[in-house]
Amino acid sequence: MELYSPEYFMNEALKQAKIAFEEEEIPVGAVMVCRNRIIARAYNQTEKLTDVTAHAEILAITAASNSLGAKYLTECELYVTLEPCVMCAGASFWAQLGGIHFAASDPRRGYGRLKEGVLHPKTKISRGLMEKESKALLDAFFKKLRN
């Protein structure tokens, strides 16, 4: 079995973010990885679904649980192009996610602004992978929105 790198997975998440961009959604994408395999892909669809809960992370958790037939995702790692918000961090707590890798930070709306931990103690965090690419996509989106 081919072993994929974190860069490969984050690039797949970035592809999802690019689909969001094309569909005029805030460009955030995610993939859920379980034992070196992508079991769910999702991008932000809050506009299309008229639903503030349709963040890439929430859709990826729901799809991954559906794929595995399991509520808890302790063996799964989420690759997401932007730091999760409080809602999504709270969802990852309930799912007991094995790990979250996020690209760009979100100082304003990211869960990291909270002083107290909201993640599950089992959830390992890594940040900054392909940050530049994710940020460039977000910046391009907001620039286009302003014009």
Annotated catalytic, 23?
A: no
CA distance 46 to 2: 35
Q: Which residue has the tokens 């799912």?
A: 95
CA distance 94 to 145: 34
Nearest-approach distance from CB 26 to its own copies, in angstroms: 12
Q: Which of 38, 31, 29, 43 is nearest to 4 (CA)?
A: 38
Q: Which residues are annotated as a binding site?
A: 55, 85, 88
Give the phi and the psi of residue 102 in degrees, each rounded to 5: -120, 150
CB of 89 or CB of 137, closer to its own copies? 89
| Closer by beta carbon to its own copies, 24 or else 51 | 51
When the beta carbons of 57 and 104 are compared against its own copies, the nearer one is 57
Write down the catalytic residue from 23, 24, 57, 77.
57
List of residues contacting its own copies (CB under 8 A): 46-47, 50-53, 58, 61-62, 65-66, 69-72, 85-91, 93-95, 113-116, 118
Shortest Å, Cβ 111 to its own copies: 8
Strand order in the sheet with 37-43: 37-43, 29-34, 76-82, 99-104, 124-127
| Positions at the binding site for Zn(2+) | 55, 85, 88
Minimal distance, residue 11 CB to its own copies, in Å: 26
Tell me how far apart the alpha carbons of residues 130 and 140 are, in angstroms, rounded to a whole number: 16
Active site residues: 57
